[in-house]
Structure 1
Amino acid sequence: MSQSVPDSAAGSPPPADDADAATAPARDAAALERTTLWRDRNFLTLWGGQALSQFGAQVTELAIPVLAVLVLSASEWEVGLLGAAQVAAFLIVGLPAGAWIDRMRKRHVMIVADLVRALALATIPVLWLLGVLQIWQLVAVALVMGIATVFFDVSYQSIVPSLVRPGQIAEANGKLESTQQLAGLAGPAAGGALVSALTAPFAILATVGTYLASFVALLLTRDREEPHPRDEERALFREIGEGVRWVFSNRFLRRIVATTGVSNLFSTLSTTLLPLFLLRELGLTPTAMGVIFSLGAIGGLVGAVSTPHIVGWLGEARAIPASAIGFSLVALVLPVAASVPQIAFPLLVAQSFVISFTVLVYNITQVTFRQRVTPGRLLGRMNASIRFCVWGVMPLAALAAGGLGAWLGVVPTMWIGAIGCLLSALPVVLGPFWRLRDLPDAMN
């Protein structure tokens, strides 16, 4: 662009400082976009707190099934009921939670959710010490935890754009997902060791401590989110409907929701009964169960680190169906392991590795697209609408797993889940993703 000459200085060149001043804001903004998040103390505070809480969550994800199966001698139906309680909140309050969250400061929601989760979990060792812990109490704690987790997770997926700049969103998601996979790498093995050393009820105290650490980190974190103006609030159902319409009016989001929902439906049939399969059918110890999950989580870590390179090689759009093909095919390995128990352990480690790798590539890519394409005022409702669809099927599948497991057996139920998972990739594989390299930034 040419620069006009000021009338007061006709015939003389403009001062150099004037040109610098005109381009300085653009240069500063570009420099900030390129700044690595390793230098962002605010993001690092949140990241550190989440690293601890995700580690603790991995411990509890192992300790609660072990407590149910080995200590409380839960049946297939009771294991299914427990699994349903853990995710029932996404079906019950998933949609209104998104509308409520869009009216509130997301960081404040996360603070309260962490405190509720810590208090709910702390009741388990107390009840155990009193000698009154029963499976229905474990189900009740799981239900409360699930409700708090709905509010936390929807806020968590929606808060990133208010913490970092637009050009840093993908980096932030990659770092957060990498941390989750590191927690998945160390957490289950540590959980198995803690369960063996302290027993399952007391191993849960480790998670209580990490949720409190996350609570403190969130108190110290600052965000740029503006409170939603009260005078712009409308009827709750209208706001919910706006979020649902936003998701299903986008042809890419529709197919992503379909693939994720079908995958979660059928994979939950298998994973709900996985503790019974590992601990009773195969006779593995809690420590071995934790080692399988930990070694498998290496795949998730590799996937999180590799996603930028895979996206650069295949393109953002093609990375989604390619990764979906991977996690749908490898689901067959789980029931196959039952027919070859002598090599079940390495098979399950390999299966867990590949699933973790492909799911992380899929999640980082599609979550980054969702955050980029959605207006800030709709982020909470968009995430809640998607979570309602893709997680809302999970409590139904968990109940079905309990019923089918009691009727047909654990392994036949896993075969049904594996065959269903094969179908899950079809919506994105047969969609428009292969014809593009990058997904659009605007509504399409």
Structure 2
Amino acid sequence: MTFHDPTALAEQTPPRLPRAFTSMMSTSAAEGFGDVLARTLLPILAVSILGFGTGFVGILNSIGLASFLLLGVPVGMLIDRLRNRHRAMRVATIARCLVLLGLFASLYAGWLSGAVVIGAAVVIGFADVVFTTAQSTVIPRLVQTERLKHAYSRLAIVNQTASTAAAATGSLTLGLLGMPGMIWAAICSYAASVLFQRGIKLDSAPAQRSPARRGKGSFRDGFQTLHRVPALWALTQSGALTNAGVMLGNTVLPVFLLRDLGVAPAAFAALGIVSAIGAILGAGLSPRLSAKFGLRTLRIAAAFLSVPAVAMAIACQQLPGHELIWLSAQSLTWSFLVSISAVAGAEVLPRSVPAEELATVGSAQRTITLGIMPIAALLGGAIAALTGPVPLLCVWAVLAGAAALPILREQSLKSFR
């Protein structure tokens, strides 16, 4: 678990990652592109074609997160029992491709209904869980241990760039080619992912549980292992606090900016682009900053600096200059710091957990870090309706800073750089 001096030279030079990982990045980009288009497409079908309202759209938007919360651990246990986890990725991608083909056919045949759209969302959400879980076990087999953090950094950059490009492309495609064009763009993206996955070559079979342990797994195993590794448990707690802040900000900030400050919708959309740039920069710089300052110091600094980053939004009316200047700075800085926190420490899980338990423990970790998000959104929205958004923005800042506390308490993180 300790990084020693022999890796110092590697930290100073750009790492050479294997060709198979390049295929993994291409696959991930195509998957992310298709996911954004699909998740944009479903609410549009529900509202524009079927005439449903916000309640139905809320259900659609919750299905993806609910899939990770309800199915993450069982899927992780299943993935850990598979010998060919790469094949699970391919099956998940093909399933999403077929679902979108079914949507296209039902749209033209007149079979489209609320049940069909919900069913599509469920299959896409389940396939996303399978793909993400299987991918998390394949990456450590493609990349040397000392290169993992660089691999996760590049993957985060690719994913963020693909998501940003997909959002812009989706709007353009919808305007030029309509709904069928958007559906086919998503289908082609998933099909490209299947082709890219052919370049992911694995040299050996993954480690398997012993026959004595293979049938004894339970839902608690992943959480127990997670709790037994102090460094991993501290990062999980910190990530949950950061994600609670992220979701609270995503819930309250649009109301504060659009309703209370009167920010134009076009300007608000531009802030999203600034935020994406910050996330890409943070993912790119995270490995270098971690190598220079150490993982523990970097995560503590990112959490503490997040407090003034959020404060810029709270105090944008009192600060000198135009409000949009401070809101842009807030979007850029907050996304930059959150991206650093997301990438820094991503290699701790595969370095701390046996390969045969990686999917199960990773799923347990995601259940905690993602599970806090709908709770934060629901509570934040309800409380903000009573108190207004500003007090909740202050809570957001407190949560962002509190993410440093689990890291401060855990000394074993000093061994990671």
What TM-score results when the alignment is normalised by the length of structure 1? 0.75
Matched, 1:307 2:286: yes
CA drift of 1:33 comes to 11
User: Using the alignment, how far apart are the partners of 2:46 and 2:402 within structure 1?
Assistant: 36
Matched, 1:439 2:414: yes
Alignment equivalent of 2:364, drawn from 385, 398, 419: 385
Identity, in percent, stands at 25
Task: Assess if the C-alpha contact under 8 Å between 1:120 and 1:141 holds in 2.
Answer: yes
Which residue is 1:235 aligned to? 215
Alignment of 1:247-286 (within 5 A): 247-265=226-244, 267-269=246-248, 271=250
Q: Structure 1 pair 193/92, CA: closer, same or farther in 2 (3 Å)?
A: same
User: Using the alignment, how far apart are the partners of 1:440 and 1:81 within structure 2?
Assistant: 43
CA drift of 1:308 comes to 2.3
Q: Structure 1 pair 283/124, CA: closer, same or farther in 2 (3 Å)?
A: farther
Matched, 1:155 2:130: no
User: Using the alignment, how far apart are the partners of 1:347 and 1:131 within structure 2?
Assistant: 49
Alignment equivalent of 1:93, drawn from 59, 71, 77: 71
CA drift of 1:367 comes to 0.9
Which residue is 1:138 aligned to? 117
Task: Assess if the C-alpha contact under 8 Å between 1:261 and 1:390 holds in 2.
Answer: yes
Alignment equivalent of 2:166, drawn from 178, 187, 198: 187
1:295-326 Cα shifts (integer Å, max 9, x gaps):
42111211122112322343211111222334
Q: Structure 1 pair 224/276, CA: closer, same or farther in 2 (3 Å)?
A: farther
Q: Which amino acid aligns with 1:79?
A: V
RMSD (CA atoms) = 4.1
CA drift of 1:361 comes to 0.8
Which residue is 1:357 aligned to? 336
SS at match of 2:299: helix
User: Using the alignment, how far apart are the partners of 1:82 and 1:336 within structure 2?
Assistant: 35
User: Using the alignment, how far apart are the partners of 2:323 and 2:47 within structure 1?
Assistant: 20
Structure 1, unmatched stretches of 5+, are: 1-28
Alignment equivalent of 2:143, drawn from 151, 161, 164: 164
Q: Give the greater-gyration-radius structure (CA).
A: 1
Which residue is 2:298 aligned to? 319
User: Using the alignment, how far apart are the partners of 1:370 and 1:244 within structure 2?
Assistant: 13
Structure 2, unmatched stretches of 5+, are: 1-6
Task: Assess if the C-alpha contact under 8 Å between 1:56 and 1:207 holds in 2.
Answer: yes
CA drift of 1:386 comes to 0.3
Task: Assess if the C-alpha contact under 8 Å between 1:266 and 1:418 holds in 2.
Answer: no
User: Using the alignment, how far apart are the partners of 1:108 and 1:416 within structure 2?
Assistant: 48
Provide the aligned length of Structure 1 versus Structure 2: 405
User: Using the alignment, how far apart are the partners of 1:183 and 1:221 within structure 2?
Assistant: 19
Q: Which amino acid aligns with 2:158?
A: T
Matched, 1:429 2:407: no
Greater mean alpha carbon deviation, residues 32-41 or residues 429-438: 32-41
Which residue is 1:12 aligned to? none
User: Using the alignment, how far apart are the partners of 1:315 and 1:427 within structure 2?
Assistant: 19
User: Using the alignment, how far apart are the partners of 2:327 and 2:177 within structure 1?
Assistant: 26
Matched, 1:408 2:385: yes
